[in-house]
Amino acid sequence: MLDTPSAARAPRRAETAWCLYDWANSAFATTVMAALFPPFYRGLCLEAGLPGATATAYWGYTTAGALLVAALLGPLLGAVADHTGGKKLWTAGFAALGVAATAAFTFIGPADWQLATLLYVLANVGFSGSIVFYEALLPVVAPAGGMDRVSSRGYALGYVGGGLLLALNAVMVMKPGWFGLAGTGAAVRASFVTVSVWWALFTLPLLSGVSEPPPARAPGEPAGAWRAGVARLGATAREVRRYRHLLLFLLAFWIYNDGIGTVIKMATAYGDELGIGVGAMTGALLVTQFVGVPFTLLFGRMAQRLGAKGAVLIALGVYVLIAGGGFFLRTAGHFYALAFLVGTVQGGSQALSRSLFGRLIPRHRAGEFFGFFSTSAKFAGIAGPLLFGAVSQTAGGSRLGIVSLIVFFGAGALLLARVDVAAGEAAARQAEREAGRDMARP
């Protein structure tokens, strides 16, 4: 039977609906995680009488703690979602947690860094948990051979969406009177509310436009969802070892993504410590967002010529320059230059890492493998902020902390260079064939 035009458009609509969740959650990543919350948090610590370097270190420890909580939950929930077929439901549930906790930032009082720590951990768990299940829908939404394109498109839309809201929030912070706000503090809190509304609103297309994949229950699996989830989690940890190149990629990703995540989470705290104003830093992050749109799409095309692995290796080389340049950062102009460089590689490296992983896993177990991917990366990602915080606190400043990230990019690149993508894909497809034969048996 010939495809009708409406049937042909349906997969593209599902792709767009899926990509719009990047647009939705990027508001948290840009306005909260990268731009406004780190200096806001440092301000609370300073109001409580903590030294400047200690305030930066506490932000590193808070970030690490948030990652740890999300890491403990992810793989079990991913396995449960595969068993029950509830990836969209879990995405919505975690997004709701993140939206509510972000809105609650407005209730944080002066010097109340402890409440800020608790609410940020909850919001980050919502953000990170929703992404586990959202990314597990990628193999369902993307056509064969199209994961690099769809993943890159999602990241590009995330840059646009997060950048647009960040631009609005930057104007609110710099000109609070235009919005009837009493001052900068009120504008920052109002910005947190806009993030929660934006995140909730643009989650709706995913829930209505993407089909929920059916449960993928293996023969002999326990009937209860949580018991099955625990069983699957153990099986995933054992089974990942049979995919040599997937495991090698994971090791590489854990290391270099730890460096990338630390740059994102610590940049404005570092800039605030150096005396760079919130307005200047927010403007620099806008540069990152809008430079990121064309460069993320460019990396998607680059992957067609060099392969996703080759494109990611180029990005890691640029990150080495960024970490080295961070040591010499002195002025807002320097911050803008580094923000531009980050924009050229951040989205492309993460989008292609996501799609590369998607090609190396058996698709019938995407939820648990993406849960393992996201969660294990969070466990590994704890090291970067902890190292940054510890070095900053010990040295009495953060310059050596930023330079220490070079080791993450260098070591990750060396491991990634050893991954044989074709062999890894062949192993994953063989596992799918074996699973199909097993499920077909009475």
Per-residue pLDDT at 232: 60
User: pTM (2 decimals)?
Assistant: 0.71
Alpha-carbon span 162 to 376, nearest angstrom: 26
Per-residue pLDDT at 4: 41
Complete domains list, the chain, with CATH: 13-440 (1.20.1250.20)
Three-state secondary-structure class, residue 326: helix
Alpha-carbon span 406 to 259, nearest angstrom: 8
Alpha-carbon span 260 to 262, nearest angstrom: 5
Q: DSSP for 355-378?
A: HHHHHSS-GGGHHHHHHHHHHHHH
* C-alpha distance from residue 363 to each of 118, 218, 227, 435 (Å): 36, 13, 22, 10
Alpha-carbon span 300 to 153, nearest angstrom: 8
The angle that helices 244-273 and 278-326 make with each other, rounded to 10 degrees, is 130
Number of Cβ atoms within 10 Å of the Cβ of 30: 28
Per-residue pLDDT at 233: 60
Instruction: Going residue by residue through the chain, which has 442 residues, state the pLDDT in tens, using 9 for 90 and above.
Output: 344 444 445 578 889 999 999 999 999 998 998 889 988 999 999 999 988 778 888 888 888 788 778 777 766 676 666 666 678 888 999 999 999 999 999 999 999 999 999 999 999 989 988 987 888 788 788 877 777 788 888 878 888 899 899 999 999 998 999 999 999 899 999 999 999 999 999 999 999 988 877 766 555 555 555 565 566 666 666 666 778 888 899 889 988 988 887 887 777 777 887 888 877 888 888 888 888 888 988 988 898 888 999 999 999 999 999 988 888 888 888 888 988 999 899 888 988 998 898 888 887 677 667 766 766 666 656 777 777 777 777 777 677 777 878 889 999 999 999 999 999 889 888 887 876 644 443 3
Number of Cβ atoms within 10 Å of the Cβ of 114: 11
Per-residue pLDDT at 67: 76
Q: DSSP label at 277?
A: -
Q: DSSP for 389-418?
A: HHHHHHHTSSHHHHHTTHHHHHHHHHHHTT
The enclosing H or E element of 142 equals none
Encoding tokens for residue 171?
A: 């104007």
Nearest CA-CA partner of 36 in 129, 98, 105, 107:
105
**Residue 74 and residue 128 in contact, taking contact as beta carbons nearer than 8 Å:** yes
Per-residue pLDDT at 442: 36
Alpha-carbon span 258 to 246, nearest angstrom: 18
Nearest CA-CA partner of 291 in 347, 247, 331, 241:
347
